[in-house]
Amino acid sequence: MATWALVTGAAKRIGLAIVSQLHSDGYNIIIHYGNSANEATQLKNKLNKLRPNSAETIQANLAEPTAVSKLAQDILSSNIQLSVLVNNASSFYPTPIGNTDFAQAQQLLTTNLLSPYLLAEQLRSLLSLHHGCIINMLDIHGKRPLKDHGLYSISKAALEMATLSLAQELAPSIRVNGVAPGAILWPEQSLEASQQAVLDAIPLAKLGQAEDIAKLISHLISAPYISGQIIAVDGGRSAVGYKGA
């Protein structure tokens, strides 16, 4: 029976690159999406054309309190061999101090922290059967906050601690690691001046690619003695500080 990987937020951008890499590594893929139904379906069809019956889609709004339990139950009842969980789904938008909205705070913390933690907890029985691996997508701004994005930065800092806690709690049957991207893909709305400020702060002086993240995740999945690690993929930016956006 084929081994499966669940990737949340998998239809676009970094999630798409992760799915493509893991599929080429031989995994069957559960493509989770929130609102990107068309992109998820297109990706599923593409993967199934490459290898029949190797991809499925599943929808869940991870900002909803009950969504994780339903998602986990659907997978637990599907009789698949799940060995990889990549918690990639994330919300990102500014919440300047003085304009904090409770609904926004709840949405950011639920999507970025509680959902990945609870999904790991609820799928642990299935993952442990196959000595599974969990990868949480973090952010370099979980170490030093991004201006005007306090709640987002807080959510990623908390997910980093959750990653370390899960690595301890789920050992020895499940490994847990975190990947903290720097400037990989520009936000969908990003000013050229702010882009240049970021590039000026990166020792390697270039934007990273989604494939850089996907290749690291592939390596972490295949490395049986690595657990409880947070690895920055930021072109050396964390070595010199976080000037720029």
Marked catalytic residue, from 33, 152, 225, 242: 152
3-class secondary structure per residue, the chain: CCEEEEECCCCCHHHHHHHHHHHHCCCEEEEEECCCHHHHHHHHHHHHHHCCCCEEEEECCCCCCCHHHHHHHHHHCCCCEEEEEEECCCCCCCCCCCCCCHHHHHHHHHHHHHHHHHHHHHCHHHHHCCCCEEEEECCHHHCCCCCCCHHHHHHHHHHHHHHHHHHHHCCCCCEEEEEEECCCCCCCCCCHHHHHHHHHCCCCCCCCCHHHHHHHHHHHHHCCCCCCCEEEECCCHHHHCCCCC
Per the annotation, the verdict on 117 as an active-site residue is no
The residues assigned a catalytic role are 152
